[in-house]
Amino acid sequence: MWRRIVLVLSLTSVCVMWAQQKIEDDAPTSPAAKTEIQVPKIAIYPWCFAENERGTNEHAVRSVQELLRKSFENRAGMEVIPEARCRAAWIQLGNDDIPMTVEEPGQLPRLPSAKKLLEFGEALGADYVCAGTVAWRVRSVWVGLGPKTKAEATVNVIIIDVKRKEIVLDVRDFSSGSNKAEKWYETAGALLVSWGITLFSGGPKTPHMQRAGIIAVGAAIEPFFSAAGRKIE
């Protein structure tokens, strides 16, 4: 009698366990259990801007900042780390605060060393760090019966791959004028419009500075998307 009871209980236990396993196997996988998509993060910091007429044009600065942000977001699929967080991390590491603008090109700071940017990126949890400077020189030239404004932008930019400890882009003293047609810019008109970057607004020098800044910075960072990189020793 007891043997029959034990046998029935054993069979019942096996059936319950099988049914429970079947339910778990048939249950749909929850979203949380799926592989999380990793989006690379980039710190576009520190950047500093200046022009030769004192009081850097805010429209020109904003255009370059938008170009940088949209390029990394839309072309490289990256998440841009907020500037306030970048600045806080930079200062906490004991670095001097770098202003966004200075009055004259000669006051622009030198780009931080690759090692310092690497340390900054690691502390921030970034995958990439992009630092740079832009110096505008605006002048009026006499053409025909009147003056014509010309602007030139000189760019320094470095991009660090934090995870691989590599410099993937290092461009120094790259200049491009507002009336110069860089190859990448010739096909970027519709792209810039789709990004909401307005080139022609403000006073007589503003559109020239915007155009020069976008042409120069865009051409300077273009090789990033196919850069091989080199190790930071």
Residue 184 CA, chain-centre distance (Å), reads: 18
- Cα separation of 49 and 58, whole Å? 10
So what's the pLDDT on residue 114? 97
Helices marked H in 27-113: 58-70, 83-92
105: cis peptide before it, omega within 30°?
no
Domain ranges of the chain: 41-227
Let me know if 202 is exposed, middle or buried by CB neighbors in 10 A (0-12, 13-18, 19+). middle
- Per-residue pLDDT of the chain (233 residues), as tens digits, is 545 544 444 545 545 454 455 445 554 555 555 667 889 999 999 999 999 887 788 989 999 999 999 999 988 999 999 999 999 999 999 999 999 999 899 999 999 999 999 999 999 999 999 999 999 998 876 555 656 778 899 999 999 999 999 999 999 999 986 566 666 666 566 667 667 676 655 557 888 888 889 989 998 998 997 655 556 66
How many CA atoms lie within 13 Å of 31's alpha carbon, on the beta-carbon side?
1
C-alpha to C-alpha distance for 15 and 7, rounded to whole angstroms: 12
Q: Are 112 and 94 in contact (CB under 8 A)?
A: no
Q: Sheet holding 166-177: strands in order across?
A: 79-80, 41-51, 128-143, 146-161, 166-177, 230-231
pLDDT at 98: 94
pTM attached to this predicted model: 0.77
Token couple for 134: 């832009």
**Which pLDDT does position 178 carry in this prediction?**
59
Question: What integer pLDDT is reported at residue 190 of this predicted model?
Answer: 61
